[in-house]
Amino acid sequence: MASPNGKRVLVAIDGSDQALQAARYAGTFFSPGRAEIVLFHVYTRIPESFWDMEKEPAFHYKIVNIQAWEDRQEEVARELMVRAKQELLAAGVGEECIRLLSVPRKAGVARDIIEEAQSGYDALVIGRSGLSQLKDFMLGSIADKLVEKLTHLPTWVVGGRSLPGRLLLSLDASEGAMRAVDHVAQMAVGYPYVQVTLFHAIRRLDVFFHGLGDAYAVGYENEWKEIARKELEEAAREMESTFDQARRRLLDAGLKDDQVRIRMVREVSSRAHAIVEEADREGMDTIVVGRRGLSRVQEFFMGRVSNKVIQLAKDKTVWVVN
Rounded distance, CA 188 to CA 195, Å? 9
The pLDDT of residue 70 is: 75
Each of the 322 residues of the chain gets a pLDDT tens digit; together they read: 455 567 999 999 987 888 999 999 999 999 788 899 999 999 877 655 555 555 565 555 555 567 777 777 788 888 999 999 999 999 999 999 999 999 988 988 999 999 999 999 999 999 987 544 444 344 447 888 888 888 889 999 999 899 899 999 999 888 889 999 999 999 998 888 899 999 999 887 665 555 555 555 555 566 666 666 666 677 677 899 999 999 999 999 999 999 999 999 988 989 999 999 999 999 999 999 998 643 333 333 445 788 889 889 989 999 999 8
Domains, in order of start, for the chain: 8-158 (3.40.50.620), 166-205+236-321 (3.40.50.620)
Q: Is the peptide bond before 32 cis (omega within 30 degrees of 0)?
A: yes
The pLDDT of residue 256 is: 94
Rounded distance, CA 230 to CA 74, Å? 63
The pLDDT of residue 170 is: 95
The pLDDT of residue 1 is: 46
The pLDDT of residue 45 is: 73
CA nearest to 12, candidates 115, 95, 106, 91: 115
pTM surpassing 0.95?
no
The pLDDT of residue 101 is: 95
- Torsion sign (Cα): 127, 133, 136, 139: positive
